Amino acid sequence: MKRVLTSSAALMMLAAAPAFPQQKATIEHVPGIEFSSVKNFLKLPPGEYLGESVAVATNSKGHVFVYHRSANTRLFEFDQNGNFIKEIGAGYYGFEFAHSVRVDKDDNIWTVDEGTNMVTKFSPDGKVLMVLGRRPPAVQGAVAFPGPQNGNAPAQKYIFCRPTDVGWDPQGNIFVSDGYCNNRVVKYDKNGRFLAQAGSEKPGKALGEFNLPHGMQVDGQGNVWVADRSNIRYQVLDNNLKPIREITNLGVGWTVCISAGPHQYAFLSNSNPNGNQPGSWDITGEIYKAELDGTVLGRFGHPGKLAPGFQVVHMMDCRNPNEIVVGEIESWRVQKLILQPTSTKAAGAAQ
Amino acid sequence: MKHLMQTLLPLALIAAIAANAQAPEIRFDSAPNALQLPANIYLGEVGGVATNSRGDIFVYTRTGHPTITIGTARPFAHGGSRLFEFDRNGKYVREIGKDSYGFMFAAQVRVDPSDNIWVVDQMTNMVMKFDPQYHVAMLLGRKAENVAVPARTQQGNGAGQPTDLFNRPTDVAWDAAGNIFVADGLGNARIVKFDKDGKFVKSWGKKGTANGEFANVRSIAVDPQGNVYAADGGNKRVQVFDNDGNFKTAFTNVGNAQALCMTKGSSPVLYVSNSNPPDDIDRDGEIYKMSLDGTMTGKFGRAGKVLKEFGTVNAIDCRNENTLYVAEIGNLRVQKLVLH
C-alpha cells in the first residue's frame, strides 16, 4: 500500500508539471538485454509498400500480420520467414486508420481501427466473423473532430471513440481499450455482449481511470494490462476491471505485450515520441522486459532512424519472449528482434 | 364518410387486440455460409437484399471509403457502396453498377415482378432501376452536384418538395398497375407516388406523430389491392394507406419497425422487423409475422452478433414465405433463415 501511495504522490507531481510528450523512466540500474535485428525480415512483392506500421502480430504458425496505414489502411500476411503471402480485407468497410492487430488463441485475426471506430474479428482465412463498434455513417457527412475539445459524449456500450487495442482472457471474453476520445477499457463476452467497463469518456488520474489507454493485453490469469499513455504509467486490472496496481517508473506507457506459454513475461515500451524532439532520443525509446509480478528483468533498444534503432515503437508481438516483432510508426518498418534470454536474477521492481 | 368509419373501426380494434397478444415463437435456423464471398470482396453494412424470380440474390452494401475530393471548385463526392449478385446457392456471380454515379450509401435493393433491380441510395438521394440485363432503365431523384462540408444540419418539416427530389430515401415498392412508391424517408418523412413511367403523381406525409405523419419512413410494401404499408419506426408503428395515400389504420404493436416484406400471391403475409438500434444489442431485434389485418401470428429472433441473432435488420426478402434473407447493418452480413 505504501508503494502505491508513493507512486501516486509522484504522479500528482508529474501531473502538475507541464505535459511532456516524452518521459524519462525513473527506474535505475536495469541491465541491458543483448539483441540483434534480423536483416530485411519482411520481403514485400515489387510495388508493394508498408505505410506507418502501427500494428503487428503473429499466429501460432509464426505468420506475421501487419496492419498499416497506407493510402488505404491495409492488412498484410507474411509467413514465418517474412515472405509475403496475401492481403486480407482489401477495401473492407472497417479499415480506414490502423491502430492494432492481434491474433487470438484460435488464430482469428482481430483488427482495431481508430478511423472507423470498429473492431473486427477475421477467421484465419480472412472472413469477417464479428464486428464491434460502428463506423460513423457517411450519410451524416463529415463528423466533428471527436475529443475533449468538442465535449466528450457519454461513452456507449457498443460504440467506440477511436479505440486502440483488443485482447482476450482464457475464457474468451473480449477486452477493448477505447481510446483516444473515450478513456476506458470495456469487457464483452465471447459473443460480443457488453459486461463491464472501467473508466469513462472522461480522462482521469485515479486508479481505474485512464488518459489515453493506448495499448492493452490480458495475461493468463485474466488480468488486464493497460498502457495508460497520457498518464505516463501502466495499470493492471483484474478480470472484472478492478484496478490492482499501477506502474509509474517505466516512462510513458505506449504499448504492452504479454508473451505466450506457461511462464509469461510482460514487455513494456517507453517509445520515443512522434516528431523526434531534440533530446528525446537520449531519454526514451527503450523496451522493458518484466515478470508479471512487476520484477523488471532488463531493457533493450534505443531510438534511431536505421535498424536496429526504433522509430516510435507502436506495437510488439512477443509470442516467443526471445523473438520480438516490433511495428514502428515513423520508419514504416517492422523489425524482428532476437533477444538474449534473460537470467532469473531480478534487476529492479516496476513501481 | 360514414361507410369509411364503419370499415375503419374494426380494423383499429383488431390492431389494439393484437398489441396485447403474445405471439407464438417461430422456430428457425440460419443457413451457414449463405453467401460465399470471393477473397477480395467484403460486405459492409448491408442496406438491402432481394431475390429475383430465379432465386438470384442481390445485395446492396455500404463498402465504405466514400471520397470527397479536395483542390476542386467545390467538394465532390463519390463511392462508398456496391451492388453484388449471387446465385440461388449463394455463389458470387458479379458486381452490378461498379463505380456508379448513384452509389454512395446503400439504403435498399428490391426486385420488381419483371425482375428489374431497383436500388435506393440514401446519400445520392437516387432511386435507380436496372433492367434484368443490368442496364440503367429509369432514374428517380438527382444526386447533389457537390457535398456540404461540414454537413448541413437538417431543416424543414420533412414534407419535401412536390417533386422527385429525395432526402435520404429508404425504400421502393410497386402496385399491381406498376405505379412506383418511394419511401422518402429519413431526411424527408413522406411517401412519393409515381406512375409506372416515373411521372410524379403525388406525395404525402411530413414529420409528426399524427396519423399520416411519420417520424421517418424506413420501409414500404404494397398489397395486391394497392394499399401501402409504411414502417414508421420512430413512431413505433406500421401505417396503412390506400393507393392514394389516405390513412386507413396503423399497427402499433411492432416496435421500431425498420424493415418490411410482404409475400407474393393473393393472400400475402407481412414480415416486420423490430430492429435494434445500431448502438445497442441488448434490446429489440425480433421479426414479427403478421396477417394484413394486423394480427401477429408469430415472432422470431433477437438482437445480437452470432448466427440467428440480428444486428439492426434493414431489409427482408420473403419471396418464399419460409425462406427469408435478412440484411443487417450491425453485423455486416446477410443471413438466410429457414422457418419451421
Q: What does the DSSP assignment read for A15-61?
A: HHS---S--------PPB--EEEPTT-SBPPTT----EEEEEEE-TT
C-alpha–C-alpha distance, residues B31 and A15, integer Å: 56
Answer whether residue A142 shows pLDDT above 80: no
Answer whether residue A211 shows pLDDT above 60: yes
Q: Which of A1-10, A80-89, A99-108, A324-333 has the lowest mean pLDDT?
A: A1-10
Model pLDDT, residue A177? 98
Residue in the structure block whose three cell numbers are 406523430: B209
Contacts of B122 in chain A (CB under 8 A): 139
Q: What percent of chain A has pLDDT over 90?
A: 83
- Facing residue for A191 by CB, picked from B44, B168, B305: B305
Residues A271-286 pLDDT 10s: 999 988 888 999 999 9
- CB distance from B193 to chain A under 8 Å? no
- Nearest CA to B12 out of B286, B182, B251 is that of B251
Helix, strand, coil % in chain A, rounded to nearest 5: 10, 40, 50
- CB distance from B190 to chain A under 8 Å? no
For chain A, give the mean pLDDT.
91
Could you tell me the pTM of the whole model? 0.90
Question: A267: which strand partners?
Answer: A257, A289
Q: Which residues of chain B have pLDDT under 50?
A: 1-2, 4-21
Model pLDDT, residue B149? 78
Residue B153, φ and ψ in degrees, nearest 5: -75, 155
- CB distance from B46 to chain A under 8 Å? no
Q: Per-residue pLDDT averaged across A225-242, rounded?
A: 98
- CB distance from B282 to chain A under 8 Å? yes
> Integer distance in angstroms from the first to the last C-alpha of chain B?
44
Model pLDDT, residue B258? 98
Contacts of B123 in chain A (CB under 8 A): 138-139
Q: Which long-range contacts does A7-14 make (Cβ < 8 Å, 24+ apart)?
A: A7/A246, A7/A248, A7/A249, A7/A351, A8/A246, A10/A248, A11/A205, A11/A231, A11/A232, A11/A233, A11/A246, A11/A248, A12/A205, A14/A232
C-alpha–C-alpha distance, residues B81 and B66, integer Å: 8
CB-based contact A134 B278, cutoff 8 Å: yes
Residue B249, φ and ψ in degrees, nearest 5: -165, 175
The answer to whether A257 and A271 have CB atoms below 8 angstroms apart is no
Q: How confident is the model at residue A14 (pLDDT cuts 50, 70, 90)?
A: very low
Q: How confident is the model at residue A145 (pLDDT cuts 50, 70, 90)?
A: confident
C-alpha–C-alpha distance, residues A85 and A63, integer Å: 9
Please state the separation of Cα B219 from the chain's center in Å. Answer: 4
Chain A residues interacting with chain B (CB cutoff of 8 angstroms): 72, 86, 89-96, 116, 126-128, 130-131, 134-135, 137-144, 156-159, 191-194
C-alpha–C-alpha distance, residues A142 and B27, integer Å: 43
C-alpha–C-alpha distance, residues A254 and A53, integer Å: 15
The count of C-alpha atoms lying within 13 angstroms of the C-alpha of B112, restricted to the half-sphere facing its C-beta, is: 23
C-alpha–C-alpha distance, residues B45 and B329, integer Å: 4
Peptide bond connecting B150 to the previous residue in cis, omega within 30 degrees of 0:
yes
Contacts of A192 in chain B (CB under 8 A): 281, 304-306
The answer to whether A163 and A114 have CB atoms below 8 angstroms apart is yes
Residue B303, φ and ψ in degrees, nearest 5: -70, 145
C-alpha–C-alpha distance, residues B47 and B246, integer Å: 29
Answer whether residue A143 shows pLDDT above 80: no
Contacts of B37 in chain A (CB under 8 A): 127
C-alpha–C-alpha distance, residues B134 and B269, integer Å: 30
Residue in the structure block whose three cell numbers are 466473423: A129
Tell me B15's DSSP state. Answer: H
- CB distance from B37 to chain A under 8 Å? yes
CB-based contact A95 B281, cutoff 8 Å: no
CB-based contact B333 A128, cutoff 8 Å: yes
Contacts of A145 in chain B (CB under 8 A): none
Model pLDDT, residue B314? 98
Helix (H, G, I), strand (E, B) or coil at B222: strand
Comparing A302 with A146, the larger pLDDT belongs to A302
Tell me B262's DSSP state. Answer: E
Model pLDDT, residue A150? 67
Q: Report the residue of A86, A158, A161, A173 to disrupt the B interface, i.e. the one with the largest count of B CBs within 10 Å.
A: A158
Q: What percent of chain A has pLDDT over 70?
A: 91
Model pLDDT, residue B220? 98
- CB distance from B224 to chain A under 8 Å? no
Model pLDDT, residue B16? 42
- Nearest CA to B67 out of B109, B99, B20 is that of B99
CB-based contact B64 A94, cutoff 8 Å: yes
Answer whether residue A191 shows pLDDT above 90: yes
User: Could you tell me the CA-to-CA distances from A18 to A60, A183, B110 in Å, in that order?
Assistant: 44, 21, 59
Residues B146-189 pLDDT 10s: 988 777 776 788 998 888 899 999 999 999 999 999 999 999 99
CA-derived radius of gyration, chain A: 19
Q: How confident is the model at residue A8 (pLDDT cuts 50, 70, 90)?
A: very low
- CB distance from B42 to chain A under 8 Å? yes
Note the maximum CA span of chain A. 59
Residues A252-270 pLDDT 10s: 999 999 999 999 999 999 9
Model pLDDT, residue A345? 61
The answer to whether B16 and B45 have CB atoms below 8 angstroms apart is no
Model pLDDT, residue B289? 98
